[in-house]
Amino acid sequence: MYKTIIIGATGIVGQQCITALQNHPWFEITGLAASKNSAGKRYIDAIKNQNGSIQWFCKEQSKTEINNMIVEDGDLVNPEKFDVAFSALETNAAQRIEPRFAKFIPVLSTASAFRYEKDVPILVPGVNNEHIQILHEQKKRGWSGFISPQANCTTTGLAFTLKPIQDKFGIESVIMTSLQAVSGAGRSPGIAVLDLVDNIIPYIPQEEEKVSIEALKILGQKSGEVIQNASFKVSSTCTRVNVLDGHTESVLVITSNKAEVDEIKEAMKSFSDCLSDMDLPSAPNQLLTIMDDPFRPQPRLDRDSEGGMTTSIGRIRKDEVFPNGIKYVLVSHNTRMGAAKGTVLMAEILVKEKMIH
């Protein structure tokens, strides 16, 4: 069992990390860290609000032994007590705290703080495992460990679906419109509840830029010690809709080589079991689930398929405007594969690759 600390454990993503790890066969939660305001408190007391109500946001409950653990100050805790860290910090805190841990141990992060640096790959399970070797470049920083950030949750589902198309037919351009769940905004006061009643918010700050930048890095090629971004272009429109969990995306892909619908489906099916021989505890049976029902996928019906770890795809069809255009709709669980649970799956792959030891 790897001794594991969760940094930023009191927030919603930290809570998701707890539920993903508390019964894990490889990782044992032996430390919880948060801000100095939570330090010294039992975890169950650290997540209470001023009125004494417990602020727990996951469907699964935390175990008694987790609730009774004493939370440490993330700025002061000794990283060398642990084998691996899972970071659920906000960006500013991540920039300060994650390098302190990476100096000694691997850090698996949901934060965007280091995603865009040259020696930091954005790893998506099964999509770009060859980029794992880039992590060794971080040793030049004087670190014994590394930082491996999770992709933006909107980019994750998109990357899973683009990979088999890119490999088989090539991609010229991608046009995507997202309908993103409320949970993707976290518990910040940025969106008032009434704003989403009978409404769609047509803009999510920085989301479209993240999708474009991250998709090209994830689907780029490893060239020596760096990643060469993919050469296709990405245009996205990201919106917030009145759905609790599960991001829906309408995607148009212009392929380099002509592809029929059946060929696209076959490429996706062939890719979807690429992790099946690795014996990973958190891996779904299929990374992609192809649906023929024209009314699927739907977030309410499909987001929890395979524990929220598969991306469901439907309405795969030819485009009427672009000769090499293929259209489809996907649903991806933004707080499971797109957040903590996906990070745990990537950690399992890094164990198999002997990057965590």
Active-site position among 238, 247, 274, 333? 247
User: Is position 247 annotated as part of the catalytic site?
Assistant: yes
Token couple for 61: 């409950």
- Beta strand 2-7 with 27-34 is parallel
Going through the chain in order, the beta strands assigned E by DSSP cover: 2-7, 27-34, 72-73, 84-87, 106-109, 146-149, 171-180, 221-223, 226-228, 233-240, 247-255, 288-290, 311-318, 325-332
What residues contact 269, with CB distance under 8 A and at least 6 apart? Answer: 288, 290
User: Is position 24 annotated as part of the catalytic site?
Assistant: no
Active-site position among 153, 238, 274, 333? 153
Closest CA to 234 of 297, 161, 168: 161
Distance CA 312, CA 290 (A): 6
Token couple for 216: 């090209």
What residues contact 209, with CB distance under 8 A and at least 6 apart? Answer: none
Residue 169 has φ and ψ, to the nearest 5°, of -125, -10
What is the chain's percent helix, strand, coil content, to nearest 5?
Answer: 30, 25, 45
Q: Which residue numbers are catalytic?
A: 153, 247
